[in-house]
Amino acid sequence: MRILVVTGAGISAESGIPTFRGTGGYWRNLDPTKLATQSAFDSDPEIVWQWYRERRDMIRRAQPNAAHRAVAQLSAGADEFFLLTQNVDDLHRRADWNGYRIPPDQLAQIHGDIFVSKCERGDFSQADPDGEDVGERSTAGVPRCPKCGARMRPGVVWFGEGLDPREVARVDNYVRARPCSAVIVVGTTVAFDYIVHWTRIATGRRGRLIEINPDDSFLEKLGAEWVKEPAASALPRIVDELLATRTTS
């Protein structure tokens, strides 16, 4: 059993974290897809930091839900497993299944990590300690790089930016090694071509492609089986079914 799981904001929706697009996607009448850009940061870095600080606080208070735990269960039970997440939250890393957590080498956060900040100019980056991020508690302020004094920015990928080549290589290595028996795509509008591309390669000619989304399907054209349900109810059942097939085959 060789598995790829691809997740987006929808898997964290039931933990109380708003998605980017669709209902509840707006923050103070601002469109998140416009805030997550270099041009938003250039024109108003304080409002962008404020948005990220609020999201950090919200994520710290949130707990992984049954869908995150089911992904950890699958990681524990599959022969080979990889999780490609577009989420910058840490709920996949915190989710455990009977004490088991997804090993770091089986997880790629392709859009970065919200708890990291990085220098806008140089290579410096840091994981901000819990609740002690530079300027975290202030409602305004743009943190400065301790090395060179340039502005620090959130360690995430913004629209129009390239992905981290090391993360790309990790995903490529997994999906190109050999096709998966099942690919599960959860809670994403699949807005980026590279996500479609990796999904297609991983599925190959014979793999099962399962898409979990209560509102829309984006992969039916690739032959996906669409499970029209919220992730926290659908995924634990699907994972149980997949693992049961494995034990009986």
Name which of 121, 116, 112 is nearest 167 in CA terms: 112
Name which of 110, 117, 231 is nearest 162 in CA terms: 110
Q: What separation in angstroms does the CA of 193 have from each of 11, 200, 208?
A: 20, 10, 20
> What mask, x for binding ligand OAD by CB under 6 A, covers residues 171 to 210?
---------------xxxx-x-------------------
Helix (H/G/I), strand (E/B), else coil: 36: coil
Q: 94 or 144: whose CB is closer to ligand OAD?
A: 94
Q: 72 or 156: whose CB is closer to ligand OAD?
A: 156
Taking the complex as a whole, the smallest distance from the CB of residue 225 to ligand OAD amounts, in Å, to 15
Helix (H/G/I), strand (E/B), else coil: 131: coil
Residue 236 near ligand OAD by CB under 6 A: no
Residue 36 near ligand OAD by CB under 6 A: yes
Residue 89 near ligand OAD by CB under 6 A: no
- Return the beta strands (E) in the chain as ranges: 2-7, 80-85, 107-109, 112-119, 125-127, 152-156, 182-186, 208-212, 225-227
**How far is 184 from 51, CA to CA, in rounded Å?**
30
Taking the complex as a whole, the smallest distance from the CB of residue 147 to ligand OAD amounts, in Å, to 26
**How far is 63 from 103, CA to CA, in rounded Å?**
19
- Angle 115-69-212 from CA coordinates, rounded to 5°: 95
DSSP string, 42-109: HH-HHHHHHHHHHHHHHHHH----HHHHHHHHHHHHSSEEEEEE---SSHHHH--BTTB---GGGEEE
- Footprint of ligand OAD on residues 148-167 (CB under 6 A)? 156-157, 159
Residue 15 near ligand OAD by CB under 6 A: no
Among 33, 43, 63, 245, binds ligand OAD (CB under 6 A): 33
Among 21, 101, 121, 144, binds ligand OAD (CB under 6 A): 21
Q: 67 or 201: whose CB is closer to ligand OAD?
A: 67
Q: What are phi and psi of 232, to 5 degrees?
A: -70, -25
Helix (H/G/I), strand (E/B), else coil: 247: helix
Residue 109 near ligand OAD by CB under 6 A: no
Is residue 92 annotated as part of the catalytic site, yes or no? no
Q: 10 or 143: whose CB is closer to ligand OAD?
A: 10
Taking the complex as a whole, the smallest distance from the CB of residue 145 to ligand OAD amounts, in Å, to 22
Among 215, 241, 244, 245, binds ligand OAD (CB under 6 A): 215
Residue 238 near ligand OAD by CB under 6 A: no
Q: 80 or 90: whose CB is closer to ligand OAD?
A: 90
Rounded to an integer, what is the distance from CA 180 to the centroid of its chain? 20
Q: Which residues bind ligand OAD (CB under 6 A)?
A: 8-10, 13-14, 19-22, 25, 33, 36, 86, 111, 156-157, 159, 186-189, 191, 212-216, 230-231
